[in-house]
């Protein structure tokens, strides 16, 4: 991970704009170029930026060096992700209680917990309008890249469907103009499409909302790293087309591959399994 990528990831998860992150230490324009890898940044200035926001300088450089973080909340974050993947609300409730009792719990951990609840419940009803607007504002002002695609793929659940469509369409347009072939970017942008389609399903969006995402998935190169996303795209296409037979066939394939939990909350027409 580069310094720019690490700064951007840190900033997004802290819920700050580039102007706020620059904090008057450097201009927003210069800071933006650092994130994009256009400009290098002096070590003293970098440390000033990290310190003014109370970020752990040592852990930041450990992240740059791809070293395993010793952050005391790292294990808790892992448990949140595991609970989300297993739809374990009881464990999330226990973690939430611990975080509420911890005055030093970082903001990014609280954000990660909210995200897990939203994905398990498949709903943004518990997300405040302020958080929705904050997430929307962060993404709108971004230059699309691997980190942005990753952030949107996870944060799309926070958004109301009209806002989600607008931002997802913007991401797809940016990718079409400047397609990336590295594995991570490809996976993140494909996952953005799948997670958005899941939001469309649960927010009962009109089929027209799904067309661009389905087309985008079809356009992506047939890379093995996004084989599952391609398959899920076909499944969602059948669901929104109300093609019961095709949807059931695809659902069976996905389940036989061991990914039943990914679609166990999506019902095909007259599906009584």
Q: pLDDT at residue 55 above 80?
A: yes
Q: pLDDT at residue 106 above 80?
A: no
Give the model's pLDDT for residue 195: 95
Mean pLDDT of the chain: 86
Q: pTM of the predicted model, to two decimals?
A: 0.71
Q: pLDDT at residue 139 above 60?
A: yes
Q: Which CATH architecture has domain 3-64?
A: Orthogonal Bundle (1.10)
* SS3 call for 244: helix
d(CA 269, CA 247): 9
pLDDT band at 62 (very low <50, low <70, confident <90, very high): low
Greater pLDDT, 41 or 107: 41
Torsion of Cα atoms, 119 then 122 then 127 then 129, to 10° = 120
pLDDT band at 3 (very low <50, low <70, confident <90, very high): confident
Instruction: Please report, rounded to a whole number, the percentage of residues in the chain having pLDDT higher than 90.
Output: 41
Please, what is the end-to-end C-alpha distance for the chain in angstroms? 44
pLDDT tens profile 164-208: 999 999 999 999 998 987 888 899 999 999 999 999 999 999 999
Give the model's pLDDT for residue 134: 77
Q: pLDDT at residue 67 above 70?
A: no
User: CA angle, corner 222, sides to 216 and 226, nearest 5?
Assistant: 75
């Amino acid at each position: 991970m580069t310094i720019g990528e690490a700064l951007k990831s840190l900033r997004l998860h802290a819920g700050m704009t580039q102007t706020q992150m620059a904090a008057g230490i450097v201009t927003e324009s210069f800071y933006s170029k650092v994130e994009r890898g256009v400009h290098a940044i002096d070590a003293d200035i970098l440390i000033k930026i990290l310190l003014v926001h109370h970020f752990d300088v040592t852990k930041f450089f450990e992240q740059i060096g791809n070293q395993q973080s010793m952050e005391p909340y790292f294990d808790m974050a892992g448990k949140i992700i595991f609970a989300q993947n297993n739809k374990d609300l009881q464990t999330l409730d226990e973690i939430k209680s611990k975080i509420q009792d911890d005055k030093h719990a970082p903001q990014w951990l609280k954000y990660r917990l909210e995200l897990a609840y939203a994905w398990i419940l498949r709903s943004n009803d518990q997300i405040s309008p302020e958080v929705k607007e904050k997430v929307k504002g962060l993404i709108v002002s971004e230059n699309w890249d691997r980190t942005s695609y990753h952030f949107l793929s996870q944060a799309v659940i926070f958004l109301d469907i009209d806002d989600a469509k607008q931002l997802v369409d913007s991401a797809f347009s940016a990718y079409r103009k400047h397609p990336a072939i590295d594995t991570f970017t490809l996976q993140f942008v494909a996952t953005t499409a799948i997670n958005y389609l899941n939001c469309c399903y649960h927010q009962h969006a009109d089929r027209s909302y799904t067309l661009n995402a389905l087309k985008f998935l079809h356009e992506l190169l047939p890379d093995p790293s996004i084989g599952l996303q391609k398959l899920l795209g076909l499944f969602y296409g059948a669901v929104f087309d109300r093609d019961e037979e095709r949807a059931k066939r695809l659902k069976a394939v996905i389940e036989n591959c061991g990914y039943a939990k990914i679609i166990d909350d999506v019902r095909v027409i007259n599906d009584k399994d």
